[in-house]
Amino acid sequence: MSIISIIGSGDMAAAIAGLAVKAGHAIEVAARDTAKTRTLVDGLGAGATAAGFGAVPAGDMVILAVPYSAVLDVVKQYGEALAGKLLIDITNPIKSDFTGFLTPENSFGAQEIAKVAPANAVIVKAFNTQNARVLAAGPVEGRQLDVFIAGDDAQAKARVSAFIKSLGLRPMDAGKLFMAWTLEHACMLWLGLMTHSVKHGNFSIGVNLPG
Ligand SMILES: NC(=O)c1ccc[n+]([C@@H]2O[C@H](COP(=O)([O-])OP(=O)(O)OC[C@H]3O[C@@H](n4cnc5c(N)ncnc54)[C@H](OP(=O)(O)O)[C@@H]3O)[C@@H](O)[C@H]2O)c1
């Protein structure tokens, strides 16, 4: 299987990398904290390697697993190192007090990333509505977790969907990249439910198909 690169070594990087290594993917992790990156990679075992932060990622698919507040600078810093890459945007541009979004009015995170990424990079929104702990725990009672995706490039979405499926998750295509706006708001829905009704983070939003 081809190498999947992940920028960031936090909770989401660990959750996705853990599932990916289990599924037989080769994973490359690059993050600014080399000691933390090494700890994550060592914990993942064979199949995971560390890469230099800012260096050209080995994978054609690159998961942007840093906070939205950092991602635009990180993508700018990588610059042409991300040329031609399929960038998987998992970020949620939500204010830390959950009162609104960090994005300019009439825009959304994936679109802001597309503005600073190399012109020939392709952006697919994915994973942003799944909580890292729930994701890491995997399917419950055989029910697959839904990973919503959005993007303009059908071929790129097919590749991301295949990757998601290989992790034992169910890809749910929500449409073109403008639907990333909706997926970013869906994270706000998750936060609202967590705060007001569920009262903990151990849940997932998904699609129920009756019958
Ligand atoms: N956690 C979730 O359940 C969840 C669910 C869906 C989507 N997401 C999204 O996934 C992304 C990652 O979330 P996370 O929970 O994995 O975050 P996290 O545990 O805080 O990890 C964030 C990673 O980004 C790095 N980072 C932070 N600021 C940076 C900067 N200015 N330059 C370079 N690297 C920087 C951190 O490095 P250091 O270790 O050096 O600080 C760390 O490796 C976020 O955009 C978040 O909105 C999270």
Average pLDDT over every residue of 1-6: 89
Tens-place pLDDT, residues 15-37: 999 999 999 999 999 999 999 99
Helix (H, G, I), strand (E, B) or coil at 3: strand
Average pLDDT over every residue of 95-112: 97
| Ligand 1 neighbour 88 (Cβ under 6 A) | no
Average pLDDT over every residue of 34-60: 97
Q: Where are the domains of the chain?
A: 3-198
Average pLDDT over every residue of 112-127: 98
Ranges assigned E (strand) in the chain: 3-7, 26-30, 48-51, 61-64, 86-89, 122-126, 146-151, 170-175
Q: Name residues whose C-beta falls within 8 Å of residue 211's C-beta, 6 or more positions apart in sequence.
A: none
- How far is Cα 114 from Cα 82, in angstroms, rounded to an integer? 11
Helix (H, G, I), strand (E, B) or coil at 191: helix
* Residue 203 near residue 130, CB atoms below 8 Å: no
Tens-place pLDDT, residues 126-136: 999 999 999 99
**Claim: this prediction has a pTM higher than 0.95:** yes
Q: What share of the chain in percent tops pLDDT 70? A: 100
| Ligand 1 neighbour 37 (Cβ under 6 A) | no
pLDDT for residue 141: 77
Nearest CA to ligand 1 atom 26: 66
- How far is Cα 132 from Cα 136, in angstroms, rounded to an integer? 6
pLDDT for residue 139: 77
Q: How far is ligand 1, taken at its centre, from the CA of residue 211, in Å?
A: 38
H-helix segments, 56-202: 68-78, 109-116, 132-137, 154-166, 180-193
pLDDT for residue 142: 78
Helix (H, G, I), strand (E, B) or coil at 58: coil
Helix (H, G, I), strand (E, B) or coil at 86: strand
Pairing of β 146-151 and β 170-175: parallel
| Ligand 1 neighbour 9 (Cβ under 6 A) | yes
Q: Name residues whose C-beta falls within 8 Å of residue 70's C-beta, 6 or more positions apart in sequence.
A: none
| Ligand 1 neighbour 101 (Cβ under 6 A) | no
| Ligand 1 neighbour 111 (Cβ under 6 A) | no
pLDDT for residue 210: 87
Residue 1: pLDDT band (50, 70, 90) is: low
Average pLDDT over every residue of 171-176: 98
Residue 138: pLDDT band (50, 70, 90) is: confident
Question: Is residue 42 over pLDDT 70?
Answer: yes
Residue 143: pLDDT band (50, 70, 90) is: confident
Average pLDDT over every residue of 165-173: 96
Nearest CA to ligand 1 atom 17: 10
Question: Is residue 100 over pLDDT 80?
Answer: yes
pLDDT for residue 46: 92
Q: What is the mean pLDDT of the chain?
A: 96
- How far is Cα 52 from Cα 160, in angstroms, rounded to an integer? 24
pLDDT for residue 140: 77
Domain at 3-198: CATH architecture: 3-Layer(aba) Sandwich (3.40)
